[in-house]
Structure 1
Amino acid sequence: MFNPKDIIIKTLSHQYYSILHQWLVPASITIISLLLFANQTAALELFEFNRQLISEGQYWRLLTGNFLHTNGWHLVLNITGLLFLTLIFKQYCSVRAMIAFSLANSVAVGGLLYLFTPDIAYYVGLSGFLHGLFVVGCLAEISRGIKFSYLMLAVVTVKTIYEQMVGAPDNVRELIGANVAVDAHLYGALTAVPMFASYWLYKKMLNRD
């Protein structure tokens, strides 16, 4: 027997599941960042990107440094960026994909900073990962034929190149109370490309089977 109430319940359940599926990882990153910031002194001692301590074997700092912040403005800017990118690319933010990309890209940012930017002794912040997330979101939309994303990809490319040539704006540096690690932006954006390509090829092979 047709029961409209059952249809409504199933529809709402599906909507709630979709929202949870899309926002679970960004919300978790936000909560982790807030908790770490609330215990800033201890968190920095244990988890910040510290070149000397990484060289002594504390390799987890390559990942965990991404979730720490220099001050409240730094935290607000990064979390706002994370939530904004999740909002515009939410259709691609499955739990599994977001966990894999968040971990892989964050470790890549930390690892490349350690290997190729020796002048950075300390680093905290999500901005490298956010540049990677922006790039991978644009590539996901381009793969679906959304042409406007070519423009967005061009914008982040020009921004990243400009920062490499000129550096970050002084007002940003003053706001966050630290030098902006523009190399982290570069590494996050660059490593997002092969990560997306690998995921795209994997999905294509699955669909072919």
Structure 2
Amino acid sequence: MLTLLIAEWFGDAGRSALAFDHALIADGQWWRLITCSYVHLGWYHLMLNEIGLFVLVLLCPQPLPGRIWLLRLFVVSLGMGLCLFFFVPDLSRYVGMSGVIHGLFVLGLLPQALKRDWIAIACLVYLLGKLGYEIITGAPVSDAKAIGGHVVTEAHLYGAIIAFVYGLAFGTFTGREIPLPAAASTTENN
């Protein structure tokens, strides 16, 4: 969260240096595929994303090692950025954390849902419904007015898809991503 605040503090200069810009990425500024998720259209847009992260922590309270958080953030940010670059070629600029947040919800809620946590199941059903609604109708105009720019609903979809693929690849949904400490996984022989 602090990283997002620092990035916003730099304002237009930070957005200009870090935003997804299709033409600049095509010219070799590949870091924008990742950094676009950490800059916002303004303080209100940032606040909405911070609230999303707060809700994520409330709904998905499993403590994770820092290396897992960093890996998740890196993979989902990069994967979403690549998807936007290759599959939404008309998108010229993008900023915001919402696509990554959608992905983090998938990674946090699905393991709980697989354990029959009905709140997690309800949240996942809502998330899937929201993604389906956005695919069919797009984002509400009121959302664009509130944040001061177009809502890129494809980022939400790709963030969720990349997170699902990450979860399958890294064992998030089976518990392999975070192995038990050696002392807890060994058995005593008497």
Same fold by TM (over 0.5)? yes
Give 1:116's match in structure 2, choosing from 84, 87, 92. Answer: 87
Distance in 1 (CA, whole Å) between partners of 2:97 and 2:59 is 18
Q: Secondary structure at the match of 1:180?
A: coil
Give 1:152's match in structure 2, choosing from 111, 115, 123. Answer: 123
1:123 is aligned with what amino acid?
Y
The more displaced of 136-145 and 56-65 is: 136-145
- 1:91 is matched with which residue? 62
Q: Does 2:137 correspond to 1:172?
A: no
Q: RMSD of the TM alignment (CA)?
A: 2.0
Greater Cα radius of gyration, structure 1 or 2: 1
1:117 is aligned with what amino acid?
V
Gaps of 5+ in 2: none
- Structure with the largest fraction of helix: 1
Q: How many residue pairs are counted as aligned between the two chains?
A: 180
Q: 1:205: Cα distance to partner?
A: 11
Give 2:101's match in structure 1, choosing from 116, 124, 130. Answer: 130
2:147 is aligned with what amino acid?
I
Q: 1:94: Cα distance to partner?
A: 3.0
Structure-2-length-normalised TM-score: 0.87
- 1:77 is matched with which residue? 48
Q: Secondary structure at the match of 1:91?
A: coil
Q: Does 2:169 correspond to 1:203?
A: no
1:203 is aligned with what amino acid?
R
User: Sequence identity, in percent?
Assistant: 32
Distance in 1 (CA, whole Å) between partners of 2:169 and 2:20 is 27
Q: 1:103: Cα distance to partner?
A: 0.8
Structure-1-length-normalised TM-score: 0.80
Distance in 2 (CA, whole Å) between partners of 1:74 and 1:205 is 32
Distance in 2 (CA, whole Å) between partners of 1:144 and 1:31 is 32
Aligned pairs for 1:92-107 within 5 A: 92-107=63-78
Q: 1:184: Cα distance to partner?
A: 0.2
Q: 1:204: Cα distance to partner?
A: 7.9
Distance in 2 (CA, whole Å) between partners of 1:82 and 1:202 is 22
Equivalent residues of 2:59, 2:109 under 8 A apart: no
Q: Secondary structure at the match of 1:90?
A: coil
